[in-house]
Amino acid sequence: MKRDDFTLISAQDLPKDDVHIVRHFIDGAWVDSADGATFERHSPAHGHLVSRIAKGGIAETESAIQAARQTFDSRSWSETSGKERATLLLRVADLIDQNRSRIARLEVLESGKPISQAEAEIEGAADLWRYAASLARTLHGDSHNSLGSDMLGIVLKEPIGVVSIITPWNFPFLIVSQKLPFALAAGCTSVVKPSELTPSTTTILGELLIEAGLPSGVVNIVQGFGDPVGSVMTTHEDVDMVSFTGSTIVGKAIERAAADTLKKVSSELGGKNPQVLFADADIDSAIDAIVFGIYFNAGECCNSGSRIIVHEDIAQDVIARVVELSKKVPFGDPLHPDTKVGAIIHQGHQDKISSYVEDAKADGAKVELGGAPIKIDGLEGAFYAPTVVSNLTADMPIASEEVFGPVLSVLTFSTMDEAIAMANGASYGLSAGVWSENIHTCLEFSRRVQAGTVWTNTWMDGFPELPFGGVKESGQGRELGRYGLDEFLEVKTVQMRIGRTRTPWI
């Protein structure tokens, strides 16, 4: 692998930010851990200390759950009007916009993602809060007046209760904004646990919630690790629902843990998302989307377009053009405005990425580009070169498992049936894409592929109005759209007899 093959952006001025102090937010107050325990987060790109975090335990988690439970049971939040809840959510959205630069910078320092991407994500997060506000104003049940002259049926939609929200490290502010405002719009209270790797921006959100006037106890934030914080949040009898985004392995563990109390679990998990290119595809557009889809967020994205399934007639041309465009993608210092791809989240994860590529090579795969870590001048962090791997079979781990890095797997097909079989062959079903100028091809593929989202002649567009989630081992439930609000609601039927018309049973 030659460094000259890539577009690398070396370090500019290294950050000199003060260490960010992160504490728990429980019942409206910022508190340290009872035992004073803390842990630290260093920048995965620059290596310096970014944040010092209170390390939560069972006591802090139970206190947060108790605050959320008492607040919900008091009805002080759940019985506010849709107008009141919407007004607060809109206030939060405005505050997010006002603090976009501060939030984005901390997200870059903790996650290693590029500053331009982080700023766009914070802007998108504000839009999610505004959309959730619109749902709070328009939330309603149903009535049935066709049950006979003496009966009226009413279907009520009520908040499910206390929600444990557990978010990942790859999109810490965006994903909490895909969950929390919808829970609040529904009238729920919550306990939030951000990833221990990226806790700071969720703490800033807590500050903004206070400034917006959210009552104490409605939202609580506990810092720490899955054991014990996440474990308590998913098993405690006072929690009514868990909303989790993360790996499939952890998602399955949460499902098992929540089973004893039969609490609802909504999960958005892993993906091995295919883009299928038919012979009549618009190659220029497809190549750009493929490169974006695999290198966006360094491939550390559940929606990453991590495998392409290409018709054999165009496969060699597509591979060559993907390789050439990959060489032009700016990798390096995440604080540089031109950088498109930053650091890998930590060294252990980079080692995992490397192992997938090495195993594929041992099985006969061909590395068309990259295939190894790469050093960025002036930076201590973990960076992995843009990588394209071909000569694969569908059963190879690199072609069927989630690598979660900037590694593109290339497979080929000759018929629609073969393409569908490959696309559906992985255990995941989060998203998929199809490229063809024939609308009939696009529609047939969209109906047959097993995925929660299908993109046709595009990749990874997203809108707050449209639901997002997966099938199979990519999870269950939906976020965003009106379906995302429904996840946090229980349906209650009320049957009303009008007048004294009931015929006696005895």
pLDDT in tens, the chain (506 residues): 788 899 999 998 789 899 999 999 999 999 999 999 999 999 999 999 999 999 999 999 999 999 999 999 999 999 999 999 999 999 999 999 999 999 999 999 999 999 999 999 999 999 999 999 999 999 999 999 999 999 999 999 999 999 999 999 999 999 999 999 999 999 999 999 999 999 999 999 999 999 999 999 999 999 999 999 999 999 999 999 999 999 999 999 999 999 999 999 999 999 999 999 999 999 999 999 999 999 999 999 999 999 999 999 999 999 999 999 999 999 999 999 999 999 999 999 999 999 999 999 999 999 999 999 999 999 989 999 999 999 999 999 999 999 999 999 999 999 999 999 999 999 999 999 999 999 999 999 999 999 999 999 999 999 999 999 999 999 999 999 999 999 999 999 999 998 887 788 88
Exposure string for 279-304, b = 16+ CB within 10 A, e = fewer: bebebeebbebbbebbbbbbbbbbbb
Helix, strand and coil content of the chain, in percent to the nearest 5, comes to: 40, 25, 40
Domain count, the chain: 2
For residue 9, being part of any structural domain is answered with no
Q: How wide is the angle at C-alpha 274 spanned by C-alphas 271 and 277, nearest 5°? A: 170
For the full predicted model, state whether its pTM sits above 0.85: yes
Read off the CATH number of the domain in which 146 is found. Answer: 3.40.605.10
Q: Are residues 200 and 51 in the same domain?
A: yes
Q: Residue 210: name the closest of 30, 336, 389 by CA.
A: 30
In a domain, 154, yes or no: yes
Residue 280 lies in a domain: yes
**Does 302 lie in the same domain as 350?**
yes
Q: Are residues 202 and 162 in the same domain?
A: yes
- Give yes or no: residues 353 and 413 share one domain: yes
Residue 424 in domain? yes
Active-site choice (119, 121, 268, 402): 268
Domain match, 329 and 186 both: no
Same domain flag for 56 and 191: yes
**Residue 432: CATH number of its domain:** 3.40.309.10
Active-site hit among 110, 121, 196, 302: 302
Q: Which amino acid is at 7?
A: T
Catalytic-residue membership of 268: yes
Q: Measured between alpha carbons, how far is 116 from 205 in angstroms, rounded to an integer?
A: 20
| Residue 416 domain-assigned (yes or no) | yes
**39 part of a folded domain:** yes
Looking at the structure, tell me whether residues 379 and 352 fall in a common domain: yes
pLDDT of residue 500: 80
- Pair (149, 125) in one structural domain: yes
Tokens of 38: 């803390």
Give the structural domain span for 76: 18-269+474-492
* DSSP summary character for residue 468: B
Question: What region, left, alpha or beta, does residue 299 occupy, with left being phi > 0 and alpha being psi -120 to 50 degrees?
Answer: left
Q: Are residues 366 and 419 part of one domain?
A: yes
Closest CA to 392 of 416, 417, 369, 366: 366
CB 452 within 8 A of CB 429: yes
Q: Answer yes or no: do 186 and 301 share one domain.
A: no
What is the Cα gyration radius of the chain?
Answer: 24
Residue 6 lies in a domain: no
List all residues 6 or more positions away from 308 whose beta carbon is below 8 Å from its beta carbon. 274, 275, 276, 277, 290, 318, 322, 408, 409, 410, 411
Give the pLDDT of residue 246: 97
- Measured CA to CA, the distance from residue 139 to residue 410 in angstroms comes to 45
Whether 93 is covered by a domain: the verdict is yes
- Measure the CA–CA gap between 11 and 506, rounded to whole angstroms: 86
Distance in angstroms between the alpha carbons of the first and the last residue of the chain: 88
d(CA 297, CA 455): 19
Q: Choose among 230, 95, 245: nearest CA to 174.
A: 245
Q: Which of 296, 302, 26 is nearest to 168 (CA)?
A: 302
Kindly report the backbone phi and psi dihedral angles of residue 24, in degrees, each rounded to the nearest multiple of 5, phi listed first. Answer: -80, 155
Instruction: Give yes or no: residues 250 and 296 share one domain.
Output: no
Mark whether 302 is an active-site residue.
yes
143 and 82 together in one domain: yes
